[in-house]
Amino acid sequence: MQTLSSAQARRRLREFADPARAAGQRMYFKNCDGDTFLGLRAAQVHGTAREFAALPLEEVAKLMHSSVHEERSLAHGVLRRQYETAKPAEQARIFRFYMKHRGAIRDWDGVDDSAPYIAGRYLLERDKRVLYRLVRSRSLWDRRIALVATLWFIRNGNVGDTLALCALVLEDREDLIHKAAGWMLREVGKRDGRALRAFLDEHAPRMPRTMLRYAIERFADAERRRYLALK
């Protein structure tokens, strides 16, 4: 059986290219000035990830470091699929690979499509100190990985690390961190409303407004106004 290659994957993606859609994507992804967009829909990238699920990691790395947005998205989709079906030793290898190459991530969707399903999934029952190191990183994307990885924890009933990490980014100046933290806090509220309200009671006066608004999005109007007034 012929080994799949990143070159084959690139050719497959270009079969779906839509220049008109690509122009709109460039307006949407404001942090990706150096990127090339092909104009693919998410379903097309996901379908290609299924087709190339057996892509060797050295070929995945080539896609992760690409300047083509959808090629990086494809790499993350392939890694997710490989992790889902891998045995524990191979899951550890995929996690280490992801962490080694995480510097190639340079957009919010790259974090959101990968961090929960690789880093979060691997660390669920393991030492989480790496996330506390990442959340203090100078890299915006490292900090977002630390926060968004905890989505997997929340879905499995662990909200403590999310709350602790969110408390560490209250002074962060990046809007994409405010949005990520607020999103994770909103997810905490779906699982444990009491824990979210305790966090807000303590921290709402210091929270960036975007973070607070995201966190209280599901609250009733009166309660939302009360927390906003604490600002």
The 10s digit of each residue's pLDDT in 98-129 is 999 999 999 999 999 999 999 999 999 999 99
Same domain, 12 and 42: yes
120 is a domain residue: no
Same domain, 164 and 138: yes
Which of 45, 79, 114 finishes a domain? 114
CATH of the domain at 109: 1.25.10.90
Q: Is the pLDDT of residue 218 over 70?
A: yes
Same domain, 95 and 151: no
42 is a domain residue: yes
Six-digit token string for 95: 């996690």
123 is a domain residue: no
142-153 b/e with 16+ CB inside 10 Å = b? bbbbbbbbbbbb
The alpha carbons of the chain give a radius of gyration, in whole angstroms, of 19
54 is a domain residue: yes
Q: Please list the helix, strand and coil fractions of the chain in percent, rounded to the nearest 5, in that order.
A: 70, 0, 30
Q: Is the pLDDT of residue 8 over 70?
A: yes
The 10s digit of each residue's pLDDT in 192-204 is 999 999 999 999 9
Residue 36's φ and ψ, nearest 5 degrees, are -100, 135
Q: Return the pLDDT at 26.
A: 74
68 is a domain residue: yes
18 is a domain residue: yes
Same domain, 110 and 134: no
Between 230 and 182, residue with greater pLDDT: 182
Q: Return the pLDDT at 28.
A: 73
Q: Return the pLDDT at 183.
A: 98
Q: Return the pLDDT at 191.
A: 97
Same domain, 151 and 96: no
pLDDT > 90 in the chain, percent: 91
Q: Is the pLDDT of residue 219 over 80?
A: yes
Same domain, 106 and 163: no
51 is a domain residue: yes
Measured CA to CA, the distance from residue 142 to residue 57 in angstroms comes to 21
Same domain, 109 and 12: yes
Q: For residue 1, what pLDDT band results from cuts at 50, 70 and 90?
A: low
182: CB partners within 8 A, 6+ apart: 210, 211, 212, 213, 214, 215, 217
Which of 89, 114, 139 finishes a domain? 114
210: CB partners within 8 A, 6+ apart: 175, 178, 179, 182
Which of 114, 148, 175 finishes a domain? 114
Six-digit token string for 216: 């209280």
In 3-state terms, what secondary structure has residue 130? helix
pLDDT > 70 in the chain, percent: 97
225 is a domain residue: yes
Q: Are the C-beta atoms of residues 37 and 69 closer than 8 Å to each other?
A: yes
Three-point CA angle 128, 133, 136, nearest 5°: 135
Structural domain containing residue 58: 1-114
Same domain, 11 and 77: yes
Q: Is the pLDDT of residue 48 over 80?
A: yes
Give pTM, 2 decimals. 0.94
Q: Return the pLDDT at 25.
A: 82
Same domain, 161 and 87: no
Q: Is the pLDDT of residue 29 over 80?
A: no
Same domain, 103 and 134: no
What is the number of domains present in the chain? 2
Single out the residue of 135, 206, 127 nearest to residue 164, CA to CA.
Answer: 135
Same domain, 74 and 167: no
Q: Is the pLDDT of residue 2 over 90?
A: no
The 10s digit of each residue's pLDDT in 49-86 is 999 999 999 999 999 999 999 999 999 999 999 999 99
Same domain, 132 and 110: no
